[in-house]
Amino acid sequence: MKKKIVNLSNNRLVGIILVLLCILLLVVVCISISKSIYSSRESNNEYIDYLKNKLEEASENNLEIVIYGGTVSENVDDTYKDQLVTDYTSYLNIVDYYGIKKSLTEDEFVNYSYVLVIPEIDDCSGTINRVEIDNLSGNKLDLNIKYDGSCGVCAPTYEIYFVPISKELNIRSINVTYNYIEENKNEYNCDDLNNNENFIDTDKPLIYLYPETQMQVEVKLGNIKDVTTTYPKYEDSWHILANPNGNLIDLKTGRNLYGLYWEGKRITDNTNLTEGFVIKKEDTISFLEEKLAILGLNEREANEFIIYWLPQLEENNYNFIRFLSIEEINEYMPLEISPTPDTIIRVLMEFKGLDERVEVKEQKLETPKREGFVVVEWGGSKLD
């Protein structure tokens, strides 16, 4: 009997020891897993900071953290667009599919996958500007591709880029957004131009050139990203043979012209409605004839201005009318003209239809001198 009791006691002791060992092992495993998770998160955060820093450096120093793959036609399909390329074989399939040159090696897929992005770059000023991580949540990554563009003014091409993503992040889902960025860092996409209530059209700006002798002239629009339509088609600049009588020849097409035409969008969150003119519908023609002459337009230019805008102005009983200053126009759409003109006259009218007269402070206008090589531009915008 005693021997049996001793055996039972030993069995209990062994059981207790085994339980303690299991608990100890479980604690060790939990600590190890916690350290691994923490280390992984720390590694991921370090990589995100690293990538953000590198992408920031890329925008400043043109480093190749975003790897250029090649240019494809304007009719590119989006079969592989915004996809995460995880292996070299898939990459080679993409190279063959789009007919681009290889820019990555097999070794570069050991530690990294690559997001295939295809921004619509245009011939005016197109280039990828920078890539930013908007969000990383679990296995989902949001990327924001920022690039130069002009919303269809210049013929688009599509350029392929590969954004490296560490495989340690274990990314399974990618969301890519595309936005073009202006030089002044105001960012918006092409849909904003059509849908944002703070944008208004700048209609029918027409540029006339009057050199003293026949000469070749180059004309550049300073903020091409705000331009929506041009004629002749704008490609980096207009190259024109200009004559003293105002007749122009497009050196690219050989066509005869009398003006260079563009339209665009601009932000109007600070429009001045306290200074200008309130004009009755019946007085519109005489008002425009008088004020356009003061602003420096000759009779032909004023005639074309009035023909275009009169039908819209006469839809209203009254119109609030204001002419932007040359400083305001130059800030919105700088003109770069070579050779440099002696006189530049820019007239941009804003108007708003009214049911009845309101009182505003009368705007003072200045008359420029038309001398030497003269450039004239007129246009307008309807305020809602």
Each residue of 300-346: pLDDT tens digit?
A: 999 999 999 999 999 999 999 999 999 999 998 999 999 999 999 99
Where is average pLDDT lowest: 69-78, 155-164, 235-244? 69-78
Pairing label, strands 256-257, 120-122: unpaired
Q: What is the distance, to the nearest Å, from the Cα of residue 280 to the centroid of all Cα atoms in its chain? A: 40
Backbone phi, psi, residue 360, to 5°? -135, 160
Q: Is the Cβ–Cβ distance between 231 and 212 less than 8 Å?
A: no
Backbone phi, psi, residue 231, to 5°? -155, 130
Q: What is the pLDDT of residue 161?
A: 80
Pair (278, 205) in one structural domain: yes
Pair (107, 153) in one structural domain: yes
Pair (48, 75) in one structural domain: no
Pair (209, 179) in one structural domain: no
Mean pLDDT throughout 49-73? 50
Q: Is the Cβ–Cβ distance between 372 and 348 less than 8 Å?
A: no
Q: Is the Cβ–Cβ distance between 314 and 285 less than 8 Å?
A: no
* Domain boundary pick from 144, 159, 192: 192
* Domain boundary pick from 192, 214, 247: 192
Nearest to 196 by CA among 271, 266, 262, 273: 266
Domain housing 104: 66-192
Pair (163, 247) in one structural domain: no
- Which DSSP symbol is given to 283? G
Pair (44, 100) in one structural domain: no
Pair (84, 54) in one structural domain: no
Instruction: Tell me the whole-structure pTM to 2 decimals.
Output: 0.56
- The CB-side HSE value for 376 (13 A sphere, CA atoms) comes to 27
pLDDT at 125 over 70: no
Three-state SS at 95? helix
For residue 63, what are the contacts with CB-CB under 8 A and spacing of at least 6? 54, 57
- Top-confidence residue, 244 or 16: 244
Give 122's pLDDT tier (boundaries 50, 70, 90). low
Average pLDDT along the chain = 78
Nearest to 143 by CA among 123, 119, 122, 126: 119
Pair (318, 180) in one structural domain: no
Domain count, the chain: 3
Nearest to 238 by CA among 214, 213, 263, 221: 221
SS3 content of the chain, % helix, strand, coil (to 5): 30, 35, 30
Pair (179, 252) in one structural domain: no
Q: Is 287 left (phi over 0), alpha (psi -120 to 50) or beta?
A: alpha
Pair (169, 204) in one structural domain: no
Nearest to 375 by CA among 345, 339, 331: 345
Pair (13, 157) in one structural domain: no
Pair (225, 178) in one structural domain: no
* Domain boundary pick from 169, 192, 215: 192
